[in-house]
Structure 1
Amino acid sequence: MIEVTLLGTGSPIPDADRAGPSTLVRAGSQTFLVDCGRGVLQRLAAAGSGAGALSALLLTHLHSDHIADLGDVIITRWISTFAPDPAPLQIIGPPGTAAVVQATLAAFGDDIGYRIAHHADITGPPGVQVHEHTDGVAWEQDGVRMLVGPTDHRPVTPTIGFRIEHDGASVVLAGDTVPCAGLDALAHGAGALVHTVIRKDLVEQMPMQRIRDICDYHSSVEQAADTAARADVGILILTHYVPALVRGQEDDWRARAAAHFSRQIELGDDLHRVQVHPGVCAES
């Protein structure tokens, strides 16, 4: 079984009720954080986890709302790990990730220096290992396998999705993308697809062109459902709602997806959990 927790279901617009985009995936003994939008560590704590428990941080792309708390994850893991020789944080992302991580460490350079000077048991900066991928196998450890595939969020490029497999169960995390062959291939036959969505019918009514611009590089609810149907996945899990999903409107969002995808559809508030079992059987 793989457990998916929608840690943050919000958008770039700050929301009192929704943290920035981030998803927690537990597979076997391993824990993966996919993207790290604002407020991710608070949501991790609420989900019963923390930075120190992460097997790896996975980044779908380098838009600010998806990496807003990258520094917080790195620094908090570093100062809250008390083992004498802590394993470095594994970070997997598209090309460009290493440069962003190095810039983040440089931005926290003063803080890192203060802590090394103050604590005798901290003898060096945060340990991180960055792995950049656009396609293929990115992780194989203790029965968990992770595949990476290209998505389409142009002009943001490259962008990637992740497929995590364990003991017959599989989950694909799409990140921001329009429908594309890369995501179709990555998601084919998966137990679940976690897909970011916007309501184009609502966004297109906004008077600001800058807001309307997002329609051309995000998937609508209907397009995400079409992708799930083409890929023959078992469960469609919607997240990163733009505009924010208002309580009481869940049935409307779900109906829009159900018109294109006839299987299980999940959406909800931060910390919504879905269990993905081998095949298409699931319970939430």
Structure 2
Amino acid sequence: MIEITLLGTGSPIPDPNRAGPSTLVRAGGQVFLVDCGRGVLQRAAAVGVGASGLSALLLTHLHSDHIAELGDLLITRWITTFTPDPAPLPIIGPPGTAETVDAMLKAFSHDIGYRLAHHDDLNAPPAIEVHEYTEGQVWDRDGVSIRVAPTDHRPVAPTIGFRIESGGASAVLAGDTVPCASLDELAAGAGALVHTVIRKDIVANIPQQRLQDICDYHSSVEQAAATAARAGADILVMTHYVPALVPGQEEQWRTLAASEFGGRIELGDDLHRVEVQP
């Protein structure tokens, strides 16, 4: 079984009820964090996961709302890992990830220096291991395999989606993208497709060009559902709702998705959990 928890279902606009985009995936005894939007560590703590318990951080792309808590994650993992000579945290993302991580560590260089000076058992900066990919297999450990493929979020490029497989179960994390053949191929036959969604019917009528612009590089609810249908996925898990999913409007979103996808549709608040069976 693969367990998916929507840690953060929000957007770049701060929301008191929704953390930034981030999804927790548990598979084969391993724990993967996909993207790290604002508030992710608080949400992870609510399901009993700390930064030191992560097997790897997977980044779909480098938009600010998807990496807002990167610095906090790196430092928190460092200061809450008490084993001597801890293994580096694997960070897997598209090209540009290493530069971003290096810049984040530089931004926290004063903090790192203070802690090294104060704690005798901290004798090295945070241990990080960055791997950059645009396609292919990126992980194969203890019965869990992960591969990536390009997605289309231009002008944000490159961007990638992740397919996690364990014990016959599979889940695909699409990130921000419009429909594209490479995502269709990555998601083919998946047990679950976790896809970001926007209500283009609402956003297109907002009298702010900057907000209307997001329609051209995100999938609508219907487009995400159509991707799930083409891929033959069993479950569509919607997240990263724009505008925010308002209590009482769940059926509106579900109906839009059901117009294109006949499988199981999951949506909800932060901490919504979905089990994916083999």
TM-score where L is the length of structure 2: 1.00
Equivalent in the alignment of 2:83: 83
Equivalent in the alignment of 1:253: 253
Unaligned residue ranges in structure 1 (runs of 5+):
279-284
Separation of aligned partners in 1, 2:224 and 2:29: 30
Equivalent in the alignment of 1:129: 129
Secondary structure, counterpart of 2:3 in structure 1: strand
Equivalent in the alignment of 2:267: 267
CA deviation after TM superposition for structure 1 residue 247, in Å: 0.5
Secondary structure, counterpart of 1:215 in structure 2: helix
CA deviation after TM superposition for structure 1 residue 28, in Å: 1.1
Separation of aligned partners in 1, 2:198 and 2:111: 38
Paired residues for 1:270-281 under 5 Å: 270-278=270-278
Equivalent in the alignment of 1:115: 115
Give the percent of matched residue pairs that are identical in Structure 1 and Structure 2. 74
Render the CA deviation track for 1:13-48: whole Å, top value 9, x for unaligned: 000000000000000110000000000000000011
Equivalent in the alignment of 1:221: 221
Equivalent in the alignment of 2:29: 29
Separation of aligned partners in 2, 1:148 and 1:192: 15
Equivalent in the alignment of 1:190: 190
Separation of aligned partners in 2, 1:116 and 1:29: 32
Count of paired positions: 278
Separation of aligned partners in 2, 1:137 and 1:239: 25
Separation of aligned partners in 1, 2:274 and 2:42: 20
- Does structure 1 residue 176 correspond to structure 2 residue 176? yes
Separation of aligned partners in 2, 1:29 and 1:210: 42
Separation of aligned partners in 1, 2:154 and 2:57: 23
Separation of aligned partners in 2, 1:10 and 1:48: 21
Paired residues for 1:86-97 under 5 Å: 86-97=86-97
Separation of aligned partners in 2, 1:104 and 1:85: 22
Separation of aligned partners in 1, 2:254 and 2:124: 49
Separation of aligned partners in 2, 1:256 and 1:69: 32
Paired residues for 1:49-88 under 5 Å: 49-88=49-88
Equivalent in the alignment of 2:7: 7
CA deviation after TM superposition for structure 1 residue 259, in Å: 0.7
CA deviation after TM superposition for structure 1 residue 123, in Å: 0.2
Separation of aligned partners in 1, 2:71 and 2:180: 31
Render the CA deviation track for 1:245-273: whole Å, top value 9, x for unaligned: 00000000000000100010000000000
Separation of aligned partners in 1, 2:29 and 2:176: 28
Render the CA deviation track for 1:129-167: whole Å, top value 9, x for unaligned: 000000000000000000100000000000000000000
Equivalent in the alignment of 1:233: 233
Separation of aligned partners in 2, 1:48 and 1:118: 28
Equivalent in the alignment of 1:281: none
Separation of aligned partners in 2, 1:119 and 1:25: 33
Separation of aligned partners in 1, 2:243 and 2:191: 27
CA deviation after TM superposition for structure 1 residue 118, in Å: 0.2
CA deviation after TM superposition for structure 1 residue 275, in Å: 0.2
Render the CA deviation track for 1:152-199: whole Å, top value 9, x for unaligned: 000000000000000000000000000001100100000000000000
Separation of aligned partners in 1, 2:48 and 2:220: 32
Amino acid paired to 1:109: S
Separation of aligned partners in 1, 2:72 and 2:180: 33
CA deviation after TM superposition for structure 1 residue 232, in Å: 0.1
TM-score where L is the length of structure 1: 0.98
Provide the aligned C-alpha RMSD in A.
0.3
